[in-house]
Structure 1
């Protein structure tokens, strides 16, 4: 069994990754963002394995809550940046698809 401080440290590591993800999103570095998402997923999977069975002191619980709040705030900002970009990309893909269909249909 792992200690409560280790669990909170794992959450803090996720917070560090999400902060890096936010920076990547702000820089529109989608490749870096994707790699960091993979890292984040792995860390969250590790946390899931231990979090529910690891007791926390009230102090550690408060620390964990603060870290989770920061992770959620960063995640919201990431979505605020990426959702419009995804909509733009989706529109570009639709336009490209339509152009290809038109070219196939009316190509001489």
Structure 2
């Protein structure tokens, strides 16, 4: 997911996010509460920290794109309203 965000491949990022969400649900559904040995617990903690760091970087990369997209949508909506208000579709 991080590589997709780094390269600006938003379609791939969206697909990977859906896959990730599905896998998280599967993990939650099959979760068993057992005490992990210290080495596995530490490994799990490191994996979670890496996931959180990657998630932060993905958000840092996607937020400007999302703001740009929101501005484009706002601009498009404004153009549509102007067209409706001033009859841009009229013929000269």
Q: Normalised by the size of structure 1, how large is the TM-score? A: 0.76
Deviations 1:76-95 (A, max 9, x none): 00000001110110011000
Name the CA distance, whole Å, in 2 between partners of 1:45 and 1:83.
Answer: 25
2:59 aligns to what?
79
Unaligned runs of 5+ in 1: 1-20
Cα distance between partner residues in 1 of 2:61 and 2:19: 20
May I ask how many residue pairs the two structures share in their alignment?
88
Q: Which runs of 4+ in 1 moved over 6 A?
A: none
What is aligned with 1:24? 4
RMSD of the TM alignment (CA)? 1.2
Output aligned runs, 1:49-60, within 5 Å.
49-60=29-40
Check 1:42–1:67 CA distance in 2 against 1; reply closer, same or farther (3 A cut).
same
Post-superposition shift, 1:56?
1.5
Partner of 2:15: 35
Q: Secondary structure at the match of 1:70?
A: helix
Query: Residue 30 of structure 2 aligns to a residue in which SS?
Result: helix
Q: Following the alignment from structure 1 to structure 2, what is the Cα–Cα distance between the partners of residues 54 and 98?
A: 56
Structure of larger gyration radius: 2
Quote the offset at 1:62 in angstroms: 0.5
Higher RCO, 1 vs 2 (CA within 8 Å, ≥6 residues apart): 1
